[in-house]
């Protein structure tokens, strides 16, 4: 199952991806985590992307595409993955589809987590206090929200045109309740 977990910053993608990954037995691939790991390790790539991450600005498509392709070529991703934070732009979505079709795979489902703006701000403020992420500050949060509003629809339009199943799930409430809704939505999805 190649599943894209889609939703605005603070919608709980990372937390929910971790829970689904155990059930589906496919890895959780988060481009944000891959990029933060590069930045923390101080690699040349990490040094290049660190200022973009801190400002909440998007890293160039070619950089994330390369990271994802390397990750999806690993044996543990042969049967699928839960993609979190990728694709974020229509060109990234097109690139992913052509990469996957070259390896005999495809995106099976896009799961969209819906959370209202007030709920997102509350979650991001909580995460800022707990995790101290460089981009959980008011300016970077505003930048990431604006980016999501501007770029998310073209990504979803791309998948609608491709005929990929798009499942909308209410992402409000506690972690367990959202997880239950996701599991139900995935069960009701047509199986690849
Ligand atoms: P996230 O953990 O998904 O919120 O991502 C954190 C940051 O990593 C984003 O604000 C971007 O700077 C960068 N990033 C993550 N995924 C992507 C992507 N698909 N395209 C471009 N930049 C990304």
* CATH label of the domain that carries residue 141: 3.40.50.300
What contacts 17, CB < 8 A, 6 or more positions away? 5, 28, 30, 82, 84
Q: What are the DSSP E strand ranges found in 77-154?
A: 81-84, 109-114
Q: Is there an atom of ligand 1 within 6 Å of 39 CB?
A: no
Residue 24 has pLDDT above 60, yes or no: yes
Annotated catalytic residue, options 36, 71, 88, 181: 88
Q: What is the pLDDT of residues 115-126, one digit of tens each?
A: 988 888 888 888
As a whole number, mean pLDDT of residues 9-13 equals 91
Residue 169 domain boundaries? 2-190
d(CA 81, CA 107): 10
pLDDT at site 190: 67
CA of 9 to the centre of ligand 1 (A): 9
Label residues 89-128 b or e (16+ Cβ within 10 Å = b): bbebbebbbeeeeeeebebbbbbbbebeeebbbebbeebb
Res 192 pLDDT > 70? no
What pLDDT score does 128 carry? Answer: 82
Number of domains in the chain: 1
The count of other CB atoms within 10 Å of the CB of residue 70 is 10
pLDDT of 48 reads: 96
Nearest ligand 1 atom to alpha carbon 36: 8
pLDDT, mean of residues 127-133: 83
pLDDT tens, 34-89? 999 999 999 999 999 999 999 989 999 999 999 999 999 999 999 999 999 999 99
- 3 touches 165 (CB < 8 A): no
Q: Distance of alpha carbon 125 from its chain centroid, rounded?
A: 19
92-104 pLDDT tens trace: 999 999 999 999 9
Cα Rg for the chain, rounded, in angstroms?
16
How far does residue 2's CA lie from ligand 1's centre (Å)?
19
- CB-ligand 1 contact for 58 (6 Å cutoff): yes
């Amino acid at each position: 199952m190649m599943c894209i977990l889609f939703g605005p910053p603070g919608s709980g993608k990372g937390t929910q991806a971790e829970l689904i990954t155990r059930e589906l037995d496919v890895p959780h691939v988060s481009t944000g985590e891959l990029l933060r790991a590069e930045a923390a390790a101080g690699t040349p790539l990490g040094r290049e992307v660190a200022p973009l991450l801190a400002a909440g600005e998007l890293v160039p498509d070619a950089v994330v595409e390369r990271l994802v392709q390397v990750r999806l070529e690993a044996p543990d991703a042969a049967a699928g993955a839960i993609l979190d934070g990728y694709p974020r732009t229509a060109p990234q979505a097109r690139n992913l589809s052509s990469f996957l079709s070259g390896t005999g795979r495809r995106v099976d489902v896009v799961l969209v987590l819906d959370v209202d703006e007030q709920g997102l701000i509350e979650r991001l403020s909580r995460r800022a206090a707990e995790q101290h992420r460089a981009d959980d500050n008011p300016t970077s949060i505003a930048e990431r929200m604006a980016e999501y509003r501007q770029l998310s629809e073209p990504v979803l339009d791309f998948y609608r045109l491709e005929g990929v199943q798009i499942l909308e799930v209410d992402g409000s409430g506690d972690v367990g309740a959202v997880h239950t809704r996701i599991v139900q939505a995935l069960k009701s999805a047509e199986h690849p």
